[in-house]
Structure 1
Amino acid sequence: MTENSTPVHHIVFDIGKVLIHYDPHIPFSRLIPDEAERNRFFETICTHEWNIEQDRGRSWAEAEALLIDKHPEKAELIRAFRANWREMVSHAYQDSVDIMLDLIQQGRDVTMLTNFASDTFVEAREMYPFLNVPRGVTVSGEVGMIKPDQAIYDTHAKSFDLEPAACLFIDDSQKNVEGAIAAGWQSVLFTDAETLRQDLTRLGVI
């Protein structure tokens, strides 16, 4: 984490694993019951590196075609990744959501910055209406760039007229926290809601 002498005026939340849960093993534990086989599928076919390109803006049709061309025998499972996406975001982290909503209620400037495919984010907003409450959001799939690239932090600050040094970014990924710091922001690593509340209290936000 990092902090500076600039008071925090803008609080920016990540979404996945900060406000809502995400785990592709949830549907795939049913589709590929054998744990070792399932892990191999995620390590060699529907990998994190493959999935993050949808967060950068690649269409699911293109993403699926790319893998099916290489692994035609796994076509049904490859298509199942997108088809069963809603199961992967199984629940909200209500304690974190409550912190965010309390900050907004207190008049704090709250926005969100997330690595998310554009179409699945539309679904996430339908599933979790609290994602519509902050002043705005930068979705990586809509702007064609992803965290921890500095460009997305700069884009977010410019889009919402934020002073970078007065921004506090909350993310569960150390790399994304470091990306925010490199962009001149303050940032804390999210581990759980209670620790977040302590961080916000220490920084004078609550």
Structure 2
Amino acid sequence: MTTIDTIIFDLGGVLIDWNPRYLYRKIFKTEEEITWFFENICTLDWNDQQDAGRSFAEATEELVLQYPEHEVPIRAWYGRWQETITGSIPDTVSILRQLKEQQRHRLYALTNWSAESFPWALENFDFLHWFEGIVVSGTEKTRKPFPDIYQILFNRYNVDPARALFIDDNYKNIVGARAVGLQAIHFQSPAELRRALAELGVAL
């Protein structure tokens, strides 16, 4: 087993509790209405374009023009985006803290996040400053699972993918990470993450 010297964390869904349903439960009456809206109006593919650098304003106006009858919930996506985040995921932050205190691994973050809203995260989550570096998709104008964003992190921070471990809750990003030579853990819960780290020889 290759010794792991670098651990790379995703943020939303791993360390930060982000879920658009938190906001849209205040707007729609049922989960079914929310699901329909996400599948047909504010879709994941649409949101991905903002993560890859498109501006909130351009994305919103394009969708409002296309679906004027849904203007209010469309504008809420970015007008009230802070309501999609409830805080941190404390047990995962605890794992990150232990890794930081051990000083056995280099720690980085690789996140699909808009460049417009990420400064807010930096101001509100102190643990983001524990990383040696963070690669933000919206700043780089590309996103996971495309290979170029992983390569940006490798090149910028001199990371050897064969000695690095990546953690993400989105399985597509896990597939992308493995394709560029990273070992990867598909995040399900903090408890399962602890077990998976132990299996890879990362003792906490």
Give the structure-1-normalised TM-score. Answer: 0.94
Post-superposition shift, 1:132? 1.7
Give how far 1:63 is off: 0.1
Measured after TM superposition, the shift of residue 35 of structure 1 is 3.2
Structure 2 partner of 1:13: 9
- Runs of 4+ in structure 1 deviating by more than 3 angstroms, as ranges, are none
Matched, 1:59 2:55: yes
> For 1:6, what is the secondary structure of its paired residue?
coil
1:95 aligns to 2:77 (yes or no) = no
CA–CA distance in structure 2, aligned partners of residues 74 and 35 of structure 1: 17
Give distance in 1, aligned partners of 2:30 and 2:197.
Answer: 42
Q: Over aligned residues, Cα RMSD in angstroms?
A: 1.2
Code of the residue aligned with 2:93 in structure 1: it is: V
Instruction: Give the CA deviation at 1:34.
Output: 3.5
**Aligned runs of 1:144-163 on 2, under 5 Å?**
144-163=141-160
| Post-superposition offset of 1:91 | 2.1
How far off its partner does 1:103 sit?
Answer: 0.6
Gaps of 5+ in 2: none
Structure with more strand by fraction: 2
Conservation of the 8 A alpha-carbon contact between 2:6 and 2:106: yes
TM-score, normalised on structure 2?
Answer: 0.95
Equivalent of 2:19 in 23, 37, 46: 23
Distance 1:165 1:131 in 2: 24
Counterpart of 1:35 in structure 2 is 31
Distance in 1 (CA, whole Å) between partners of 2:200 and 2:35 is 40
CA contact (8 A) 2:112 2:138 kept: yes
* Deviation by residue 1:78-109 (Cα, 9 ceiling, x = unmatched): 11111211111112111101111111111121
1:36 shift after superposition: 2.9
Percentage of matched positions with identical amino acids: 38
Asked if 1:105 is matched to 2:101, the reply is yes
2:74 corresponds to which of 72, 78, 99:
78
2:173 is aligned to: 176
Matched to 2:149, the amino acid is I
How far the C-alpha of 1:134 sits from its partner, in A, is 0.8
Secondary structure of the corresponding residue to residue 31 of structure 1: coil
Q: Which of residues 33, 40, 45 in structure 2 aligns to 1:49?
A: 45
